[in-house]
Amino acid sequence: MNAAILTNEFPPEIYGGAGIHVKFLTQELSKLCHIEARCFGPQDEDENNIRAVGFNRKLGLSPKDDRFQKIFKPLDINLQWAATLNDIDVIHCHTWYSHFGGVLASRLLECPLILTTHSLEPHRPWKAEQLGDGGYNMSCWIEKTAYEAADGIIAVSQGMKCDVMKLYGVPEDRVKVIYNGIDPDFYKPTFSDTILKKWGVDPGRPFVLFVGRITRQKGISQLIQAIPQIDKKAQVVLCAGAPDTQELADECKHLIEEVQKTRDGVIWIQDVVPHEELRVLYSHATVFATPSLYEPFGIINLEAMSCGTPVVGSAVGGIPEIIVDGETGYLVPLKAVSETNFEPADPKAFQTDFANKLNKILGDELLAKQMGEVSRKRAVDVFSWKAIAQQTFDFYQECIERYKREGKRK
How large is the average pLDDT for residues 37-42? 97
* pTM of the predicted protein model: 0.78
Instruction: Pick 115 or 14 by higher pLDDT.
Output: 115
Listed range (23-27, 167-171, 242-246) with the worst mean pLDDT: 242-246
pLDDT higher than threshold 90 for residue 299:
no
Q: What is the number of helices (H) and of strands (E) in the chain?
A: 13, 14
Tell whether the model's pLDDT for residue 16 goes beyond 90. Answer: no
Q: What's the pLDDT score for residue 1?
A: 96
Mean pLDDT score, 56-78? 90
> Quick one: pLDDT at residue 126?
84
What is the overall mean pLDDT for the chain? 94
Specify whether the CB–CB gap between 258 and 281 falls below 8 A. no
The number of residues in the chain equals: 410
Q: Taking 90 as the threshold, does the pLDDT of residue 66 lie above it?
A: no
Task: Check pLDDT > 60 for residue 410.
Answer: no
pLDDT at 15: 81
The CA distance from 145 to 133, in Å, is 18
pLDDT tops 90 at residue 298: no
Q: Note if the bond before 125 is cis, omega within 30 degrees.
A: no
Per-residue confidence at 390, pLDDT binned at 50, 70, 90? very high
Distance CA 170, CA 382 (A): 27
Ranking 171-180, 334-343, 372-381, 387-396 by mean pLDDT, the lowest is: 334-343
Measured CA to CA in angstroms, residue 361 lies from 203, 310, 358, 374 at distances of 18, 8, 6, 14
Q: Which of 17, 8, 14 is nearest to 39 (CA)?
A: 8
**Predicted confidence (pLDDT) per residue in 99-151, tens digit:** 999 999 999 999 999 999 998 999 888 888 889 999 999 999 999 999 999 99
pLDDT at 244 over 90: no
CATH architecture classification, 193-382 = 3-Layer(aba) Sandwich (3.40)
Rounded CA separation 150/90 (Å): 11
Domain locations in the chain as residue ranges? 2-181+384-406, 193-382
Same fold across 2-181+384-406 and 193-382: yes
C-alpha span between 294 and 120 (Å, rounded): 10
Cα(37)–Cα(131) distance, integer angstroms = 26
Confidence of residue 409 (pLDDT cuts 50, 70, 90): low
Q: What's the average model confidence in pLDDT over 45-52?
A: 97
- pLDDT value at residue 209: 98
The pLDDT value recorded for residue 293 is 95
Mention the CATH class of domain 2-181+384-406.
alpha beta
Distance CA 59, CA 263 (A): 50
Q: Using one digit for the tens of pLDDT, what is the confidence trace for 317-362?
A: 899 999 999 999 999 999 999 887 889 999 999 999 999 999 999 9
Name residue 326's beta-bridge partners. Answer: none
Is there a contact between 113 and 102 (Cβ–Cβ < 8 Å)? yes
